[in-house]
């Protein structure tokens, strides 16, 4: 299986605890999370992905907003921060198991705030990443 994923969504998946914007968003997130195995191939892309499709922050794709996100600049910054810290690039292909280990080892718990500390979900994620990292 291959999954196209915004880089910062790897952190969202690891911190996910069944909370979400809406029932539709949560159901979609549950489905994506359940589908992941160690061997799932991830293609890191800075564009709308399988998690975005059920997000209430989606907007029409336009020339000015090619990813169709209300918070396009903020999520682009999250993606860039994660890629830089993990020394990966847009288009990188990596197994979910390897990506998970990188995020847990490099990002959680000490570097998450520098990437997405201004996210509306940060309080929930910060506590969850401490649990994920064994902290």
pLDDT in tens, 53-70: 888 888 888 888 888 888
Closest alpha carbon to 96 in 44, 51, 55, 41: 41
Cα of 54 vs its chain's centroid, Å = 14
Q: Which portions of the chain are predicted below pLDDT 70?
A: 130-135
User: What pLDDT score does 131 carry?
Assistant: 67
Give the separation between CA 15 and CA 9, rounded to whole angstroms.
Answer: 10
What is this structure's pTM?
0.89
Query: How many domains in the chain?
Result: 1
Give dist(CA 78, CA 67) in Å, integer.
Answer: 14
What is the spatial distance between Cα 94 and Cα 2, in angstroms, rounded to a whole number? 10
**E strand map for the chain:** 2-5, 41-44, 93-95
Domain that holds residue 33: 2-132
């Amino acid at each position: 299986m291959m999954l196209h994923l915004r880089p910062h969504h790897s952190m969202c998946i690891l911190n996910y605890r069944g909370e979400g914007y809406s029932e539709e968003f949560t159901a979609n997130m549950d489905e994506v999370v359940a589908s992941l195995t160690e061997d799932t191939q991830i293609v890191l892309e800075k564009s709308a992905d399988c998690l975005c499709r059920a997000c209430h922050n989606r907007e029409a794709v336009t020339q000015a907003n090619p990813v169709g996100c209300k918070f396009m600049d903020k999520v682009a910054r999250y993606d860039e921060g994660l890629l830089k810290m993990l020394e990966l690039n847009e288009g990188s292909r990596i197994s979910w198991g390897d990506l998970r280990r990188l995020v847990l080892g490099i990002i959680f718990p000490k570097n998450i705030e520098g990437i997405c500390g201004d996210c509306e979900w940060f309080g929930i994620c910060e506590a969850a990443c401490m649990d994920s990292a064994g902290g």
